[in-house]
Amino acid sequence: MPNENFPDIGDLVPDLPIETNLGAARLSHYLGHQLVIYFYPKDDTPGCTVEGLDFSRFHEDFLKADTQVLGVSRDSIKSHERFIAKHSLSFTLASDPNEQLCLAFHVMKEKSMYGKTVRGIERSTFLIDSQGVVRSVWRGVKVPGHAEIVLEAARKLAR
C-alpha cells in the first residue's frame, strides 16, 4: 500500500521527469537550490489565479532566498502558456496530464463539486532543500496568505 504521507518532512524527493513551459527537465534540475513545488487544480480559475499571482508577486523574494518556484497542475503546456501570458506569471509551470507528479506527491483526492464526487488535485505545497529533501509540507491549502507563509519558511531554511 502506498504511503499516503509521502513525501513528508525528511523524505528525499524522487527524481521524476517534468514537462514545463520552458521544456523538459527533471526534478534533479533544481538541486543546489531550494524548491517550492505547489500543486493547484486548474489554470485560470479564481483560487488558482490568486495563488499564482501571489507566488509571482513574491517571486523575486523567493529567488533572494535561493528558492525556485514550480507550479504543477494537470493542464497542458499550451494552457500554462496562456495562463502565464494572461497574468504575467514570473515562475515555471509544469504540466502533469498523466498525474505522475500528482501521484508521487499524493495530491490526488476525492472532492465534492456541485454535489458530485470528483477526483482532483488537493491544493498542496512542498518546500524542498537544496539537497532534494522535503523540509515543509502544506496540504489542503487555503490561498489567502499562503505564499507569504511559504516565503517565510524558505527564508528560514536558507539561513
Query: Which pLDDT tens digit goes with each residue over 20-78?
Result: 999 999 999 999 999 999 999 999 999 999 999 999 999 999 999 999 999 999 999 99
pLDDT at position 1? 38
| pLDDT recorded at residue 107 | 96
Cell readout for 121 is 488535485
pLDDT in tens, 103-117: 999 999 988 778 888
The CATH architecture that domain 17-158 belongs to is: 3-Layer(aba) Sandwich (3.40)
Q: Give the start-to-end residue ranges of the domains of the chain.
A: 17-158
Query: Could you tell me the pTM of the whole model?
Result: 0.94
Q: Where are the alpha helices (DSSP H) in 25-76?
A: 46-57, 59-64
Check if the beta carbon of residue 83 is closer than 8 Å to that of residue 75.
yes
Q: What's the pLDDT score for residue 5?
A: 65
* 18 pLDDT higher than 70: yes
Of 2-11, 21-30, 89-98, give the lowest mean pLDDT range: 2-11
For the stretch 127-148, pLDDT in tens is 999 999 999 999 999 999 999 9
Residue 72 burial by Cβ neighbours in a 10 Å radius (0-12, 13-18, 19+): buried
Q: Is the pLDDT of residue 119 over 80?
A: yes
Instruction: Quickly count: other Cβ atoms within 10 Å of residue 8's Cβ.
Output: 12
Catalytic residues: 48
